[in-house]
Amino acid sequence: MKTQASYLDASGAKALLESVDTFLFDCDGVLWHGANVIKDAEAVVNKLQQLGKKVFLVTNNSTKTQNEYVSKCAKLGFQCSQSQVVSTSFLTVQYLKSLHFDKKVYLVGSTGLSRELDAAGIRHIGLGPDVMEGNVFDGRLDHIRLDPEVGAVVVGFDSHISFNKILKASSYLKNPDVLFVATNRDERFPMEHLICPGTGTMVASVCVASGREPVVMGKPSQQVFEALRQQHGLDPARTLMVGDNCKTDITMGNLCGLRTMAVLTGVTTAAELQRLRGSERADEAVQVPELVLPAIGDLLPHL
């Protein structure tokens, strides 16, 4: 049995490097906070590659395209090519392509998704603001027309989320033949004084109104690792998932049979980790990582 949530020391780091070929890194909360690199994160990622390790960045964020991620990485000092980045916007489009989807998408999302759809030649409507004028109960809905060509509702992160968008997404989903795809269900991004709502809040509102549940692309769905495994022939037992969010990153790692390591620079706190270790609930036990590191930069002295 694996040890549970033990803090990585020098000998543990040595053993880890010998037994792992591939490192999967979540991005926000592990490598950076928004536009700011977390100390020494780029040095760790670059050094691992110099040591011959495979590195992939796997993010639930759907607001950027793969190319935009590569640009961001370059700007922040990470050496990464397009094939090393797996975002949920990319996965969503891959998923639709795998189904030979040729209808229109009603999109609740950002430009990351719309540009990936454009690049794949998939038509879409819904991007950008769409707000209700006046009182919804005074016949204001009469003018709303649904597009009969829509064959899928895709919900990702959308800071323009609105009543009209929830209404249209749910209305399309009345038709059971219309696909329902969500990039991820992250609940929130904690900030110092605020809670920034995650994609999960947008997905939840469409689920409640429509009474339907989506196919989810992002972690903890195993879709992410499956895509990488198939393309790059990865060995789960020699792959480490590094994440800050135990509910998404570590759960996915455990479900896929990967090694797992949590860092404490993001969503999951040390106190929460302690609570998860003691939990007897199956959905919480699966969130417990094998290893813990205060921050990704703490790996640097061991490389």
Q: Could you list the residues that contact its own copies (CB under 8 A)?
A: 34-35, 63, 129, 131-132, 135-139, 141, 144, 146, 158-163, 166-167, 170-171, 173-174, 187-188, 191, 193-198, 200-202, 204-211
Q: For residues 113 and 160, is the Cβ–Cβ distance under 8 A?
A: no
For the bound state, the minimum distance from the C-beta of residue 129 to its own copies, rounded and expressed in Å, comes to: 7
Q: For residues 76 and 30, is the Cβ–Cβ distance under 8 A?
A: no
Q: Which is nearer to its own copies, 7 or 163 (CB)?
A: 163
> What amino acid positions are annotated as catalytic residues?
26, 28
For the bound state, the minimum distance from the C-beta of residue 14 to its own copies, rounded and expressed in Å, comes to: 37
Q: Catalogue the long-range contacts made by 140-143 (C-beta closer than 8 Å, 24 or more residues apart).
A: 141/167
For the bound state, the minimum distance from the C-beta of residue 188 to its own copies, rounded and expressed in Å, comes to: 5
Angle between helices 111-119 and 88-98 (to 10 degrees): 40
DSSP state of 128: S
For the bound state, the minimum distance from the C-beta of residue 175 to its own copies, rounded and expressed in Å, comes to: 10
Burial class (CB in 10 A: 0-12, 13-18, 19+), 131: exposed
Torsion (CA) 274, 278, 284, 289 in degrees, nearest 10: 50
For the bound state, the minimum distance from the C-beta of residue 137 to its own copies, rounded and expressed in Å, comes to: 6
Q: Which is nearer to its own copies, 84 or 171 (CB)?
A: 171
For the bound state, the minimum distance from the C-beta of residue 118 to its own copies, rounded and expressed in Å, comes to: 19
The angle subtended at Cα 237 by Cα 233 and Cα 239, nearest 5°, is: 65
Q: What tokens appear for 69 in the block?
A: 């991620």
Rounded Cα–Cα distance for residues 23 and 17 (Å): 10
Q: Which is nearer to its own copies, 204 or 285 (CB)?
A: 204
Q: Which is nearer to its own copies, 13 or 209 (CB)?
A: 209
Q: Catalogue the long-range contacts made by 95-99 (C-beta closer than 8 Å, 24 or more residues apart).
A: 95/181, 95/215, 95/217, 95/223, 96/120, 96/122, 96/152, 96/154, 96/179, 96/181, 97/122, 99/179
Q: Which is nearer to its own copies, 187 or 290 (CB)?
A: 187
Angle between helices 111-119 and 66-76 (to 10 degrees): 120
Rounded Cα–Cα distance for residues 92 and 298 (Å): 34
Q: What tokens appear for 255 in the block?
A: 């479900």
Q: Which is nearer to its own copies, 104 or 185 (CB)?
A: 185
